[in-house]
Amino acid sequence: MPSQDLVPLDAPAAADPHQRLIQALRERDVILDNAGVGIVFVKQRVIMRCNQRYADIFGYADAAELLGGSSVDLYPDVQAFKRLGAEAYPVMATGQRYKTEQRMKRVSGGLFWASLTGCLIDPADPAAGSIWIVDDIDEQKRAEAELHSITAEQQLILDHSMVGIVFLRGRRVTRCNRAFETLFGYGPGELDGSSSRQWYLSDADWELAGQRCYEPFAAGRAFEGEMLLRRKDGSPLHCEVRSKAIDAQDLSLGSIWITMDITARKNAELALVAAKQELEQLVQQRTRQLSETVQALEQKVREQREAEAHIQQLAHFDALTGLPNRLLLDQRSQQALDIARRQGEPLALLFLDLDHFKNVNDSLGHRVGDELLKLLAQRLTAALREQDTVARLGGDEFVLLLPGTDAQGAARVAAKAMELATKPFQIERMELTVTPSIGIALHPGDGADFETLCRCADIAMYRAKQGGRNGFRFFTGEMQAQSLRALQLENALRRALERDQLWLCYQPQICMSSGRVIGAEALLRWSHPELGPVSPAEFIPVAEASGLILAIGEWVLRSAVRQLRQWLDGGMPALTLAVNLSSVQFRHADLPSLVSRLLAEAGLSPGLLELELTEGVAMVDPLGAIAVMNDLHERGVRMAIDDFGTGYSSLNYLKKFRANKLKIDQSFVRDIGSDPDDKAIVRAIISMARSLEMRTIAEGVETRDQLDFLRAQGCDEVQGYLFSRPLPAEDFRAFVTAYRPDVATGRTACR
């Protein structure tokens, strides 16, 4: 191709062949000048023609600047030029195009990548020159290099990543790194093209994973989560997964998944959870044990407290009625007295004792007795003020502590208590009534301390009983004196036996029909050096209350039978010796055997001894009395009921008493002459005794009229001053010896 053909021509279009050629050449020039690539015609290394693009590529302002220049200058160096020539020309010489990419040099000296495509104009004649199409591919080369480096980096990352990375498209593996394969137990390349289904446990899991990813993928966000997957060998694999669509706009381009084995962590977590659960269980168990222990402890403490409370209750309260007992009463009294002293206020202490309560117990049973006490306790408590105390000392003894109460108030309370106690009690379909005796002591008049007040109230109560029961008494100075006297007597009586101050005297008992002395009653005497003679009526109750009566009674019995022995030995005709028995002796279990022993000691026949028991004592415990009397009867000892007529004997029991004799109380005998009632009573007693086949003896017979009346009524025996006062043993013997019965006239010889 001639070089001028490439130079722009401005020849007009012609119809002749030359013109047409020119036209064609012009058209070609336009094409060349406007081609996007550089085109050059080189002949003998000289640039013959080139288009503007070519000049632009090499940095020349005008293509003309290049014309005539050596093409060698456009190469980085001569070697490069030659090397190209050596490679290109053999190829081009075969008529083929030679194509290469080569570094070229711009006019500025800067090198750049260019793509070169050359061909010879005439392969047969290389000297005819060659045409080269040149394009600046420097930019493209740089991009390629960059891409290459990025790709290399990527590969590096992929190859050396510790996490498994997989690229999926259509849920199939397009690429994955070694770590991914290793993680799931596959060999290199084994996963390529395969479905992701294989590392899911089930179809459902696989489906679910797809659904979970879709939304974040479409929104351009990453999906993050933990998944339980499986290795090739089926073993489970806990993975932490992060995945993202390569292009959120076009999900068909697939996604990248980064997976990390968290099995160890998961196992550790599971172990941790298990350990935590175990720990929690342990803690729960411990907590349970602890709470059980605490509960048990609390229960113990509760029981302890209850026990203590119970002990307190037992220690301070009466078990039957729940009322404060003596101990608590004592404490409360001390407090109340302290307050009363400080504030100068009065205080009243009431002793309440039921009359004949023993009868209730004995005849109706202890259950009824207990019930009655409980009901009475309730009534009393309900009737009193809050600051008052009702205490039970035991038995049927109650104490009322009334702070701030004077004599008037105390009397009101006593009257109220009387009323409450006497109101009928309904127990087991029975209606019971009892009467109380109440003694009242006042602070500060009667005493400053609890003990003194108690003693005073007790004395007053005792006097209320003596005064006919069913009433209340205030403590008085006279009572005080009497109680002092009792105390004095008791102290003196303790020494009376050992100091030989006791002695017996004997009062004859006369048979009405024969007029003879058929018996004697032994009566105790006490002469104290300072107190003088003390009446048994006074000291016997003291001896009974102090328990001294047992020793004294035994002494009396022994002395009496010994005396009788002496008399009999001395030739006195046989007579019955009557000895008085105290209720305390009578209730003593040892009595019958003691009596037998003493009789045996004295060598006396039991029939010579007659034991006198007062009617009251016999009736307090009739059944017990019957048993003892039976026993004594068996032993051959005789029994007489003393003071008969004062004890309200039940005829029922009387029948069963193994008594030989009823001793008509002297109070009836005394007034026989004047009191028609007494006459009637005496008459009744005698006829009753007769019907019971008992003998009668009247005591306290002082006058002939009394004697006559008694004789007229058929009384069997008499005893009294009319015949003789009680006499010392020696005098009695003399009396018996001197005594001459005058049966015909009924006269008696008295000393």
- Where along the sequence are the contacts to ligand C2E (CB under 6 A)? 507, 522-524, 535-537, 540, 556, 580-582, 612, 642-643, 666, 699-702, 720-721, 726
Q: How far is the CB of 622 from ligand C2E (least distance, A)?
A: 20
Q: How far is the CB of 741 from Mg ion (least distance, A)?
A: 23
- Comparison of 48 and 522: residue with beta carbon closer to Mg ion: 522
Q: How many residues does the chain have?
A: 751
702's contact among Mg ion, ligand C2E, none, with CB below 5 to 8 A by partner kind, is ligand C2E
397's contact among Mg ion, ligand C2E, none, with CB below 5 to 8 A by partner kind, is none
DSSP 8-state class, residue 137 = -
Q: How far is the CB of 487 from Mg ion (least distance, A)?
A: 27
Q: Which of 121, 108, 131, 154 is CA-nearest to residue 47?
A: 131
- Comparison of 389 and 580: residue with beta carbon closer to ligand C2E: 580
Those residues whose C-beta lies under 8 Å from the C-beta of residue 178, and which sit 6 or more positions away, are 159, 188
First to last CA, the chain: 210
- Comparison of 144 and 538: residue with beta carbon closer to ligand C2E: 538
* Contact characters 176-215, Mg ion, x per CB under 5 A: ----------------------------------------
Q: Let me know how many helices (H) and strands (E) the chain has, helices first.
A: 24, 27
Q: How far is the CB of 580 from ligand C2E (least distance, A)?
A: 3
348's contact among Mg ion, ligand C2E, none, with CB below 5 to 8 A by partner kind, is none
Is residue 612 close enough to count as binding Mg ion by CB under 5 A?
Answer: yes
* Contact characters 478-517, Mg ion, x per CB under 5 A: ----------------------------------------
Q: How far is the CB of 351 from Mg ion (least distance, A)?
A: 30
- Comparison of 642 and 678: residue with beta carbon closer to Mg ion: 642
- Comparison of 458 and 612: residue with beta carbon closer to Mg ion: 612
- Comparison of 126 and 616: residue with beta carbon closer to ligand C2E: 616
CA distance 50 to 68: 10
47's contact among ligand C2E, Mg ion, none, with CB below 5 to 8 A by partner kind, is none
Q: Which of 81, 144, 69, 143 is CA-nearest to residue 118?
A: 81
Q: How far is the CB of 507 from ligand C2E (least distance, A)?
A: 6
Exposure of 42 in the CB half-sphere (CA atoms within 13 A)? 26
- Comparison of 318 and 612: residue with beta carbon closer to Mg ion: 612
Stretch that binds Mg ion, among 62-70, 256-264, 610-618, 645-653 (CB under 5 A): 610-618
540's contact among Mg ion, ligand C2E, none, with CB below 5 to 8 A by partner kind, is ligand C2E
DSSP 8-state class, residue 649 = -
- Comparison of 399 and 669: residue with beta carbon closer to ligand C2E: 669
- Comparison of 410 and 486: residue with beta carbon closer to ligand C2E: 486
- Comparison of 183 and 640: residue with beta carbon closer to ligand C2E: 640
Q: How far is the CB of 530 from ligand C2E (least distance, A)?
A: 20
- Comparison of 460 and 556: residue with beta carbon closer to Mg ion: 556
- Comparison of 243 and 582: residue with beta carbon closer to ligand C2E: 582
**Rounded-to-10 torsion of CA 11, 16, 22, 26:** 80
Q: How far is the CB of 662 from ligand C2E (least distance, A)?
A: 13
Q: How far is the CB of 511 from Mg ion (least distance, A)?
A: 18
Q: Which of 676, 683, 715, 714 is CA-nearest to residue 699?
A: 715
* Contact characters 628-667, Mg ion, x per CB under 5 A: --------------xx------------------------
- Beta strand ranges found along 184-254 (DSSP E): 223-230, 236-245
720's contact among ligand C2E, Mg ion, none, with CB below 5 to 8 A by partner kind, is ligand C2E
* SS3 assignment, position 354: strand
Does residue 164 contact residue 180 with C-beta atoms inside 8 Å?
A: yes
- Comparison of 622 and 700: residue with beta carbon closer to ligand C2E: 700
Q: How far is the CB of 713 from Mg ion (least distance, A)?
A: 18
- Comparison of 71 and 507: residue with beta carbon closer to Mg ion: 507
CA distance 362 to 347: 36
CA distance 88 to 94: 10
Does residue 223 contact residue 212 with C-beta atoms inside 8 Å?
A: yes
- Whether the bond between 622 and the residue before it is cis, its omega within 30 degrees of 0, is no
523's contact among Mg ion, ligand C2E, none, with CB below 5 to 8 A by partner kind, is ligand C2E
Residues 561-580 that bind Mg ion (CB under 5 A): 580
Q: How far is the CB of 725 from ligand C2E (least distance, A)?
A: 7
CA distance 206 to 203: 5
CA distance 23 to 691: 193
- Comparison of 645 and 700: residue with beta carbon closer to ligand C2E: 700
* Contact characters 579-608, Mg ion, x per CB under 5 A: -x----------------------------
Does residue 116 contact residue 106 with C-beta atoms inside 8 Å?
A: no
Is residue 717 close enough to count as binding Mg ion by CB under 5 A?
Answer: no
582's contact among Mg ion, ligand C2E, none, with CB below 5 to 8 A by partner kind, is ligand C2E
Q: How far is the CB of 720 from ligand C2E (least distance, A)?
A: 3
- Comparison of 663 and 733: residue with beta carbon closer to Mg ion: 663
Distance of CA 126 to the CA centre of its chain: 122
CA distance 85 to 94: 14
CA distance 368 to 335: 35
Is residue 396 close enough to count as binding Mg ion by CB under 5 A?
Answer: no
503's contact among ligand C2E, Mg ion, none, with CB below 5 to 8 A by partner kind, is none
Q: How far is the CB of 522 from ligand C2E (least distance, A)?
A: 6
CA distance 169 to 175: 9
Q: How far is the CB of 646 from ligand C2E (least distance, A)?
A: 10
Residue with tokens 């702070």: 403
Taking only Cα atoms into account, the Rg of the chain, rounded to an integer number of angstroms, comes to 73
| Phi and psi based region of residue 162 (left: phi greater than 0; alpha: psi -120 to 50; beta: remaining) | alpha
| Phi and psi based region of residue 188 (left: phi greater than 0; alpha: psi -120 to 50; beta: remaining) | beta
331: tokens are 């404490």
25: tokens are 């050449």
733: tokens are 């013997």
CB count, 10 Å around CB of 30?
A: 12
Exposure of 612 in the CB half-sphere (CA atoms within 13 A)? 22
Q: How far is the CB of 528 from ligand C2E (least distance, A)?
A: 15
214's contact among ligand C2E, Mg ion, none, with CB below 5 to 8 A by partner kind, is none
Q: How far is the CB of 403 from ligand C2E (least distance, A)?
A: 43
CA distance 383 to 738: 69
Residue with tokens 């004395």: 459
CA distance 319 to 468: 31
Point out which residues bind Mg ion (CB under 5 A). 580, 612, 642-643
